[in-house]
Structure formats: C-alpha cells, structure tokens
Amino acid sequence: MKKDIHPEYKETTITCSCGNTFKIQSTEDNFSIEICSACHPFYTGKDRVVDTEGRVKKFKSKISKSQEAKKTIKPKKERKSNKKEGTLKLS
C-alpha cells in the first residue's frame, strides 16, 4: 500500500433517533441515523409507522378531503336531470 493516501480509520459513535448508540470503525466522525435495529419494525416485530416527513399525515388529510368532496357531489343521474330541465326547446 502507498503511504499517506488512505484516510484515517478510527472508532466512531453512531446515534439513532431512538437514543440507541453503536461504536464502529469508520473513516467518518460521529454521526446520527434515523432508524436502527433496536427500533425498526422488522427486527422488533411491532407495527410502527415510520413517518419522518409527515407523509402519512398528509396522505390521511388528502383522503379525508376527497371523501368529504364525494359527499357534496350530486349523483350523476341528478346532474343529468337538472341539465334537461334547464334547456330551452325551440320548436
């Protein structure tokens, strides 16, 4: 190996958002992660929604708005009958 071209390999601490910490060997300094084996649903066996950007909340609000809009829209048959009543006959 050539000297002075490889980065320094040192012990690093990784911190998860759940508070769990790991010590590994890395070329980078200490850093944090969003999810680890202690809090990931696959490893824990618990269903948990991992929502880091509010996507689930945004999706639920979008669905509720569309369902409210469906309630206010008249059925197709009513809309067609209202159009027929409003037309003028020229005969």
Q: What is the DSSP string of 18-85?
A: TS-EEEEEESS--EEES--TTT-HHHH-------SSSHHHHHHHHHHHHHHHHHHSPPHHHHHHHHHH
Taking Cα atoms as reference points, which of 27, 40, 39, 33 lies closest to residue 14? 33
Predicted confidence at residue 88, as pLDDT, reads 55
Q: Which pLDDT tens digit goes with each residue over 47-83? A: 666 666 777 888 888 999 888 887 777 667 666 666 6
Predicted confidence at residue 2, as pLDDT, reads 81
Predicted confidence at residue 15, as pLDDT, reads 92
Half-sphere exposure of 51 (CA within 13 A, CB side): 10
For domain 10-72, give the fold.
Answer: Rhinovirus 14, subunit 4 (4.10.80)
**Which position has the token pair 């980078």?**
28
